[in-house]
Amino acid sequence: MKTKVATSNVSFYHTTTSAGIIVRALLNTKKKHTLSKVDMIEKLIECFRMVLGLFLVTVTCVLPFSSSSVNATSANTYDFSVFRLPQFELHGTEYGTQDWRLYYEAVSVNSLERIRRCLVVWWMDVVVDELHSLLSSNLGGIIFVLPANFSTMLDEEKNRFLRFEKALLTLPTKISLFIAFDCPEIQEVMKLAEERAAVSKKNLFHKFISLCIGENYRLYTGNQNDAMSNNRVLHNIIGRLSAFDQREHVTTIAIVAHYDSFGLTAKKSFGYNSNGSGMVILLELLRLFSRLYKTSTTRAKFNLLFLLAAGGKANYLGTKQWIDDLLERRDRYTAAPLIDFAICLDSLISEDSKLYMHVSKVPRQNSSMHRFYQMLEQSGKNYNVSTAIVQKKINLGDELLLWEHERFSLRRIYAHTLSGIQSPFDPMRRSILDLDSEGRFEKFIPIAMTVVEGLFRYLYGMKNGSVEHFLDTEAMRDHWKMWLDYLKRTPRSTQLFTNFTETQLGRDIVRFFEHFALETSIGVVTSDFKLPDFIFYDGFEDVVHAHLTKSAFFDLLSSVFIVGYLWMLHLLALNVQRLYLEVGRHFGVFESLHVEEEEEEEADDNEREDQTVKWNVGEVLLKLSTFSGVDSLLAVLFSCKQCD
């Protein structure tokens, strides 16, 4: 009996315990489904805050990149070519600009802000007398804009430009100096810079607005590398025509011309007159006399030496090297050619049909140079060319020589320079304006014919008589035209002609010498490594990129606004729930919610009390279940209680 009662008690205990678990689960489920509306709103706000924060952060990160991409594609970006002023060192003295890079904001000549800026200015807006102060200012660089076509310039403008060019080449500076030729791109840059300068001269409000939202072009060069020193060698080209087999015992007449030019920029220095005209006459004399020297019956009694020298615009370095080598060989072997005199050819186009013989000392009567001048004077009469002797003594204190014959005179070798220019200070000798123009070739012909015929008469002793049957005038005109057309398209600055024989022009001239001269050699002009006579620098041409940008102050202001905007987003993300509730309370949105919340809380309390009573009855029944004989009754009562 006891065993049966115990088994029944255990069964009832498990039954009541399982029922309690089920009741608890039902109550918890009911509690979850009876959340207050405020809790639901709070969860909704929390979800909204997460989504809003993610959206704002995404927009904040993506928008700057998308806007910058749009601005980059829509902004005005221009590229235009610029040419750097020459930079070189000669006998330890530096010349030209010493910088080669740009990364500055463009300003106009009327701008008040010039510190660390790039001045883009039309060359006529620059006062030559103020150029020194301009170059010594705190500018980062200057771009001088020149006309695209010099032929449109008036004579007065050309004279003004020559003064401007000479002053710019003689003033040393450490800032970047470039030359640009007029084009629509650079016009747009200058226009915007001028507009910005005009705004800066207005009241303070306009200045501030321009500072905040104004636009301008930032210029930077494509080549940001160092301008490497081009310290290579120069080349002389020498050709010889011998009168007899024993040429060492025959006097020699040297015909000399330098082949390089000079100007405001290396890539635009064509030197049509200086010294393209001298080169052409030298080449024509070589071609002409090579035919006569092929046979012994038509040879003259002089050896002819043709020297096409390098470095003419660099204090005649090539001629100096050749003279030094000549005298050194004479001292060692006594087999060097005996120079009767040297004829230097330089700038032989004359505007007034005059040919000048420049000498350091007037030749004596009946001397070789005097007899040659007489032949030259007689030939000039046939072509309406007047001749004159111009004497200028050598100033040993001058660092640079003015004429090429002075190199010979310093070593006691008779020499003179034939030129159509009277003064050695003529700015056209070192100018990019030395170009071909209408009528220049026609002015060259009578001077060239005078030189050719004068030398022919001197070599063959023809004081009288005609030489037309010896000289083919039409053929010479064609050759002169061919060579001048070639040279006027080839820039020949000394900087470009280091290793001259490796250039196209150098190879063509060497082949010409080898074809017509009996002997051809190439002389090398070197410079000492420790104390160099010359150093030339690269960086002749570059491309400037102009990008339309805001001012630096605008970047600073934008940064402040962006930081403030992000901070506001941060505060909003942290306090969006509080802000929402405060706004709701202010407008009475949550009054009904508070009433419902109180009712729900009261209902929850009543429900908890009922649940407590139920569980108390269950505990009493559990205790009563320990008594025997009441198992079935308790089971019925518990079932009824659950049904309730």
Instruction: Express each pLDDT in 374-404 by its tens digit.
Output: 999 999 999 999 999 999 999 888 889 999 9
Residue 400: C-alpha distances to residues 93, 108, 327, 404, 479 (Å): 11, 36, 22, 11, 34
The pLDDT assigned to 188 comes to 92
Beta bridge partners of residue 253, listed in sequence order: 304, 341
Q: Is the pTM of this model over 0.85?
A: no
Token pair for residue 154? 């008036």
**What percent helix, strand, coil does the chain show, rounded to 5?**
50, 20, 30
Residue 17: C-alpha distances to residues 21, 607, 620 (Å): 6, 21, 13
Please say whether the structural domain 231-527 has been given the CATH code 3.10.20.30: no
**138 phi, psi to nearest 5 deg:** -90, 25
Give CA–CA dist 69/489, Å, rounded: 43
Contact by Cβ (8 Å): 285, 306: yes
Q: Lowest mean pLDDT: which of 423-437, 484-498, 511-525, 613-627? A: 613-627
Token pair for residue 75? 């902004």
DSSP-based three-state secondary structure for 263: coil
The pLDDT assigned to 73 comes to 40
Give CA–CA dist 243/301, Å, rounded: 6
Contact by Cβ (8 Å): 403, 474: no
Strands (DSSP E) along 330-465, which ranges?
Answer: 338-345, 354-359, 386-391, 415-419
Phi-psi domain of 352 (left: phi exceeds 0; alpha: psi -120 through 50; beta: other): alpha
- How many C-beta atoms surround the C-beta of residue 315 within 10 A? 17
Tell me: pLDDT of 171 over 50: yes
- How many C-beta atoms surround the C-beta of residue 606 within 10 A? 9
Per-residue pLDDT of 342-384, as tens digits, reads 999 999 999 999 999 999 999 999 999 999 999 999 999 999 9
Tell me: pLDDT of 627 over 80: no
Tell me: pLDDT of 310 over 60: yes
Give CA–CA dist 463/177, Å, rounded: 55
Per-residue pLDDT of 528-585, as tens digits, reads 777 788 888 888 899 999 998 877 677 777 788 888 888 887 787 777 667 666 666 6
Closest by Cα among 432, 524, 531 to 89: 531
Which segments of the chain belong to CATH 3.40.630.10? 231-527
The pLDDT assigned to 61 comes to 60
Q: What is the CA radius of gyration of the chain?
A: 49
Contact by Cβ (8 Å): 405, 492: no
Give CA–CA dist 413/415, Å, rounded: 6
Confidence band (pLDDT; 50, 70, 90) for 21?
A: very low
DSSP-based three-state secondary structure for 19: helix
Widest distance between CA atoms in the chain: 173
The pLDDT assigned to 580 comes to 66
DSSP-based three-state secondary structure for 361: coil
